[in-house]
Homo-oligomer: A and B are copies of this chain.
Amino acid sequence: MSAVLEPATLSPEMLHRMDAYWRAANYLSVGQIYLFDNPLLKRPLRIDDIKHMLLGHWGTTPGQSFIYVHLNRVIKKYDLDMIYVSGPGHGGPAVVANTYLEGTYSEIYPDISQDEAGLQKLFLQFSFPGGIPSHASPETPGSIHEGGELGYSLSHSFGAVFDNPDLIVACVVGDGEAETGPLATAWHSNKFLNAATDGAVLPILHLNGYKIANPTVLARIEREELEQLLRGYGWTPYFVEGDDPELMHEAMATTLDRAIEQIKHIRHDARVNENSTRPRWPMIVLKSPKGWTGPKVVDGVPIEGTFHAHQVPLSNPAIHPEHLGLLEDWLRSYRPEELFNEDGRLKPELAELAPEGDRRMGANPHANGGMLLRDLRMPDFRDYAEDVPEPGVRGIGDTHVLGPFVRDVMKRNAEQRNFRVFGPDETASNGLEAVFDFTNRQWDARTIPNDEFLASDGRVLDSMLSEHQCEGWLEGYLLTGRHGLFNCYEAFIHIIDSMFNQHAKWLKVTSGLPWRRKIASLNYLLASHVWRQDHNGFTHQDPGFIDHVVNKKASVVRVYFPPDANCLLSVMDHCLRSRHYVNVVIAGKHPAPQWLPMDAAIEHCTAGIGVWQWASNDQSGDQDGKPDVVMACCGDVPTLETLAAVSILREHLPELKIRLVNVVDLMKLQPQSEHPHGLSDSDFDKLFTDDKPIIFAFHAYPSLIHQLTYRRTNHKNLHVRGYKEEGTITTPFDMTVLNDLDRFHLVMDTIDRLPQTGQPGVRLKQRLQAKLIEHGQYIRKHGRDMPEIRDWKWGKTMTARKN
C-alpha cells in the first residue's frame, strides 16, 4: 500500500469514526440474522432472544458494509450522485443496515424507527414470515438490483448510467457471480459507454474467495492472471487487500479517492477536451475475508475466511449452548454501547458520516426510477400507416413499416435522452434499419473505414452479440426511469428466460410497494420468428417464450400478435406508453399481405380480438346469425394461411357460413378471472359460439391456446394448429405444411369437423391432398414455393363478396 509513504487519506479521528460506523453496520447485520429481542444487549443474551429459524448469509455482508461506509465518504467529499448495486447474493443485511443508519429506511418505513423499538423490529423482520427477504430486494431502499439470481449486476449498472452523465454506479461484483456467463461478458460493456454523455460504473470486485461450498476461480488464479484478465477486459484495476481493519480503511479510502479522481479526469477529458479515445475506466478489487470480523473458529472448524462463513456461522445456539456465549461475544465485539445512544439511536458523530437528502444512496431517486420517469414524446403512429386500399395488398414487411416510427420516437426524445433500442446485432436484420437514418449504434471501441452506423454518441445498443447484455442494460435503463425496446430473434429470447423471470418478479413486488413508483414497461419485439427461418432452420425455431411469460403474474404480462403493419404500429404505440408491464410483441419482417387500413387496425387492436367481417360470410354483425364454423387466427403467418383457407372454402363450398376471428391480444382468450384483459364468458361465447367447430391457427405451440381457453364454453370444439416442433431449412410455405398449419390442412380440418359438407367436401379434401403432394415435389425440384402460393392474393375470386 502506498499509504505508508504518502500522507494518510484518513485522519486518525476519521478512520476511527468510519470504523465505528462500519461496526454499527456489522452489529445491525448480525442482529438481523439472529436477534428476536434484546436488540441493544442491555441484558445478557438469552436463548429466547434468538430467532427459532436462523436464516441469512453472513459471508458477504461485512465486506459490503465496508464498501458502503467508504462510498458514503467519497459521496460527501466529492458531492457525488451515486447509487449502489449489490451483486453478490444475499447481501441484504448490509444494505438494510446502511440505509437504516443513514435514515432512509425509517423515512420509508416509519414503523422501523431509529430507536430501540425500531431496532427490534428491524432485526425481527429480516428473513422472517411477514418480513423482508435476504437480498437487496425491492423492499430495500436504494436498490435496483435484487441479486437473488446472480450475474446481472454489471449489466444493470451500465443500463443505469447510460444517458445519466453525472451518475456513478458503485457495483459490487461477487467473485462467485463473476463466474456466471452474463457477468463474464458484461465487463466488455465499457466498449459501449460514452464518457461525455453517459455516467460511470465503478466495479468493485469483491474477492472474498468463496461461493456456497467452493473457492472461487478468480481468487485461485495467480494475481498476475487476474490483473491481465481485468486489463484485457479494458479496465484499470486497483487492489485493496488485507484483513486488518485499520490498514484496510486507509487503503480503501486512498484507492477510492484515486478511482473517483480518475473518473472525474476521464469525464473532463471527454467533455472539455473532447478526447474520444476509449478510456480505461478504474475498478477496484477488494480482497477481504469471507465473514470478516465474524467468529474465527467454531467447534474447531475455521469460519472467518472460509466458505463455512457463507450462511449462519453459529447455527444453533439452542442445541449448542456454548454458541450462545460465542454469539454474545461476537455481537459485543462491535461495542454497541459506543455506537448507539441509550435510546437506540446512532450517535450523532457517526450519523453525520452519511450523506444527506437525495445524496444518500438509499434515497437517490435513480434507484426509484419511476420518480424520474417522464412520458415519451410520441409521434402520431397513424402518420406511418401503410395504405391498405383492400385487404391483401402486399406490404414491405411489418417491422420495416415500424422502423420509421421507432426512428421518430428516438428523434423526438433525443433531447430528453430517455429512449433507446437494444438488440444483439439484429436491429437491421429484424427490419428496424430505419433507425439508422437518425442515429447510430453506440460504439466506443476502434472503428475503421467501411464500418456502418457506429459512433460513440449512437443511441442504438446493438453491437454486442449477447442477449444477456441487451436485457440487463435495458432493465437497468428502465429501472432508473427511462424507456426502451429490445428487438430479438424469437427463438433466442429464451436465452434470457431467467432474467425475464427476475424482472417480472421485481415488477410484481414493487407494484405492491406504495413508495415504489411505476416504471416504463419492458418491451420485446420478437421479429425473425419461427415461421420465417427459411435460411436458419430448426435451431432458430422456438415460439415458446410466451409460454414462459404467461406463467408470471397476469397483472404484469401482456402478449400481442399484430397481424399486419398497421396493427403493429398501433400495438407498439400502446406498449411504449404503458407502465410496469412486460409486453411481448411478435411480428414479421418479410414482405407479407396487409389486411387493415389504419382506422380499422386501431379499432381491432383496441378491442384486442374481433371478427373480420370482410372475410366472413356469416351474419356475425347480427346477434342471431350463427356461423357453421369459426376460423380463428393469431399471428401474421397463421392469419395469412387462415385467410387463404377461408378463400378456398368460400370458393369451393360457398354454402358454408364462416366467421373469421383474429386475435391480437392473446390474453383476451383467458377468463377475466385469470387476466385483466380476459374476455367475459359471454363476450367469448358471442365470438366463438357455444357449439360450433373452431379451427384455430396459432403462431406458437398449440397447447398454449388450450391452456388459456380450457374453461370456455365451447372449448370442446376447439381445434388448434400451431408449431409442433417440426422444421428445417425449407420454403416459407413448407414450414406451415410441416406443422399442418397451411391453408390446405386448415381446409381439411374444417371439412373433417363438418360432415354436412358431404361429397363436395370429400372431393375438395382429395384435391388438397393431391395439391400437398404436388407442393412437395415442386419445392424439392425448384427450391421455392409454387407460383400459386407465392402469388396468392386475397379476394381474387371473392371480390364480389367483400363488404
Contact = CB atoms under 8 A, between A and B. Distances in A.
A238 interface: no
A426 interface: yes
Interface string A229-266: 11111100000000000000000000000000000000
Contacts of A391: none
A538 B701 contact: no
A553 interface: yes
Contacts of A194: none
Contacts of A465: 150, 176-177, 179-180, 211, 214, 216
Contacts of A56: 535
A127 B127 CA distance: 56
A43 interface: no
A130 B780 contact: yes
A730 B53 CA distance: 10
Given A181-B182, A232-B228, A425-B214, A547 B538 contact: no
B225 A462 contact: no
Contacts of A795: none
A622 interface: no
Contacts of A311: 535
Contacts of A466: 179-181
A566 interface: no
A227 B232 contact: yes
A451 B302 CA distance: 11
A742 B312 CA distance: 29
Interface stretch (A108-116, A489-497, A604-612): A489-497
A754 to B, nearest CB: 20
Copies in the complex: 2
Interface residues of A, number: 124
A544 interface: yes
B508 A498 contact: no
A534 to B, nearest CB: 7
A501 interface: yes
A80 interface: no
Given A232-B232, A547-B551, A729-B127, A783 B36 contact: yes
Interface string A195-220: 00000000000000001111111001
Interface string A692-717: 00000000010110110010000100
A134 interface: yes
18 contacts: A128-B783, A131-B729, A133-B538, A133-B729, A134-B535, A181-B186, A188-B217, A212-B426, A213-B452, A214-B463, A217-B464, A221-B234, A221-B446, A229-B231, A229-B233, A491-B498, A544-B551, A550-B703
Which 7 A-B pairs give the minimum distances between C-beta atoms? A148-B539, A229-B232, A181-B181, A228-B232, A55-B535, A184-B185, A494-B498
